[in-house]
Structure 1
């Protein structure tokens, strides 16, 4: 703790005491309360904890937690890596992670709104920019405004290497003028929030995988890294097998960016790819659990782009699909986004609408022409499906509450 000021040491001791008390009181791990107290006592503690570290920041609307886990694994060959175990990606969670692990390397998940000031505090060696799409408008705001803030934030860190998804128009705009960019073709399954150029306002034209602005000198860069169904490709003719434990094309793109970030910090590509491929579960996502006569696989989605990607992972051979939707503050209380998601392609699968807002979802499914039943309680919804394998897709608090209820039944 040689680089920590006296006030900073006091802040960390108080944080540790608060975390211990929270754990003893049965209120969780206590990392968030510890981080909040540390910041209240010394607002510069994040900067102090970041000194002397080589830090990779990971941000985007979707895939942050998964890519952070993959980046942590890929960096592991270089030494121990500080990271968040619980996905707490705002200031208090970041401080808690950095104070718990005094390592020379860090892979830190960051909420996109917090990226500019967290970058200022930690002076990252690299920043992974995944994707940018509409999320909770009541909290996040309009997406073009976020793009401009992130672009200005990254401009303040010209020495950082940006690992940027060139298939995402808004992410490309953030990184386009930066002096150190590694472009990754990580895919973009959702283009509804980037139909116009973020720099000129004119339309974006897509020609296959390539896109360009009709009103500015702005177009998809040539990627340094890209993936297909079996391999990861990189600079100088690099070609590596990539067999992920996690499903979905989006996770292949996440892995490509994680490996590119680790290589930018000096990791061997082969070892980084092998390590990233071992990630199997992130805070309960993608895991399968036995629920009576059913094997339920749990998937999480939080916004239209995430829902569309998660729906593409649904196994059509499953005996049932439970879709659980809440509308609490962490989810966003406005569920009008349900009408942006394509639910129309479920034939032959028994679909059950569940969650606190099951009736809102049921209306959307009706208009989509999806035969379904409505069972508000997700556990009972699973039980209502025919015996066998059930896919469960839930938004944030519905997913959290279902995991809590599953633990209570054990």
Structure 2
């Protein structure tokens, strides 16, 4: 439980001060928030700093391939009903960025931390979390990330015997297998639209059977656990069978699923579902995602989609045809340099939408759309794409660094 004694040694205080100074210098030089470089410097000076900063906090970790940043925001908003919260709200989700975020607050009671999937086990070791939310696992950054089952195995080994309450998605077999090594799991029926990474059993390799919303392995008996929380339409069902309405300003089924998991986490800390869900209404956009911005006398809605599962969810929430769509894909370090995942996305869902294609890898995307029999135009940049789009609101879908480029261009 959070206490008030100062956990920081003189060395740790020096590390925090140095990290903040470096971060401020980085910001002044126009190189971003400085949180990552500041955290790196602080951890060099005191390798135990993350553990020291976390020891007076009730920590929740959030990890997944998709939805980490949004769910972290929703949980943080819900827990503010019970006390001050510190969070890495801007998505710097590796140890340096997390350290930097925690160093920025001295009076928080709760820490709500988004964690990159590959770092979850190590950050859990350092921060001794009270709760860990596991939402989904799917293919992402194919050149950098391990195959999804290996990631699930890292989670399973890293969380084995963890004292934390694990809030896990019962509809994702990889997540269920990873969480099953923990003694204290709360299962949430949050749904799974993208199933192409979960057709073989993570336990034995057998073929997964998927009748309706259920799943099980016909060979070893590994099966979907019975959830105690569930997303049901526009409501969250709690363990007592009560249905609580979800009121979000964020669009789409995926965000309702994020809200269901967030309500289950909030309940671990004694925040009732009604209070938690009401507070989540405050979240309008997350690091620019879902923002509607004015640009060249047009309304552009900015949507982030980084991998096949994310694109599938995003297609489900765009306005119907003939709403124009601009697609932007880069393949820089933060995106993963391998764009072969484009072939896993079902672009036939865009039939009827006028499409413009931009970004570093616009030609890769153009070939993919050609094969999917889509009508599109390749444009030089956002300005040209907006000019060539028919009237009305425009849906702009981009992967990670392409999204940052767009935000800079529209001044968001």
TM-score normalised by length of structure 2: 0.96
- 2:133 is matched with 128
**Residue 104 (structure 1) aligned to one of 109, 117, 123:** 109
Are residues 1:219 and 2:192 paired? no
- 1:74 is matched with 78
Question: How far apart are the structure 1 equivalents of 2:330 and 2:27?
Answer: 28
Q: State the 1:209 CA deviation.
A: 0.4
Are residues 1:310 and 2:314 paired? yes
Q: CA deviation digits over 1:289-313, x for unaligned, max 9?
A: 1112321100001111111111111
Deviates more, 1:48-57 or 1:19-28: 19-28
Are residues 1:340 and 2:344 paired? yes
Q: State the 1:26 CA deviation.
A: 2.9
Give unmatched runs, 5+ long, in structure 2. none
Q: State the 1:278 CA deviation.
A: 2.7
Deviates more, 1:165-174 or 1:147-156: 147-156
Give unmatched runs, 5+ long, in structure 1. none
The 3-state SS of whatever aligns with 1:391 is: strand
Question: How far apart are the structure 2 equivalents of 1:18 and 1:318?
Answer: 49
- 1:150 is matched with 155
**Residue 137 (structure 1) aligned to one of 126, 134, 142:** 142
Question: How far apart are the structure 2 equivalents of 1:51 and 1:290?
Answer: 44
Q: Indicate conservation of the 8 Å contact 2:161/2:182, yes or no.
A: no
Question: How far apart are the structure 2 equivalents of 1:326 and 1:121?
Answer: 34
- 2:67 is matched with 63
Question: How far apart are the structure 2 equivalents of 1:48 and 1:318?
Answer: 54
TM-score normalised by length of structure 1: 0.97
Question: How far apart are the structure 1 equivalents of 2:81 and 2:254?
Answer: 24
Are residues 1:297 and 2:301 paired? yes
Question: How far apart are the structure 2 equivalents of 1:203 and 1:170?
Answer: 13
User: Could you say what the CA RMSD is over the residues aligned between the two structures, in angstroms?
Assistant: 1.3
- 2:365 is matched with 361
How many matched pairs? 407
Q: State the 1:318 CA deviation.
A: 5.2
Question: How far apart are the structure 1 equivalents of 2:143 and 2:350?
Answer: 31
Q: Indicate conservation of the 8 Å contact 1:318/1:389, yes or no.
A: no
Q: CA deviation digits over 1:219-272, x for unaligned, max 9?
A: 111111112222111111221111211111111110000110010111122101
Question: How far apart are the structure 2 equivalents of 1:358 and 1:27?
Answer: 26
Deviates more, 1:45-54 or 1:28-37: 28-37
Question: How far apart are the structure 1 equivalents of 2:378 and 2:247?
Answer: 37
Q: CA deviation digits over 1:327-358, x for unaligned, max 9?
A: 11211111111110000122332111111111
Q: Which runs of 4+ in 1 moved over 6 A?
A: none
- 2:203 is matched with 199
The 3-state SS of whatever aligns with 1:323 is: strand
Q: Indicate conservation of the 8 Å contact 2:326/2:397, yes or no.
A: yes
Q: State the 1:317 CA deviation.
A: 4.3
Q: Indicate conservation of the 8 Å contact 2:170/2:227, yes or no.
A: yes
**Residue 280 (structure 2) aligned to one of 267, 276, 281:** 276
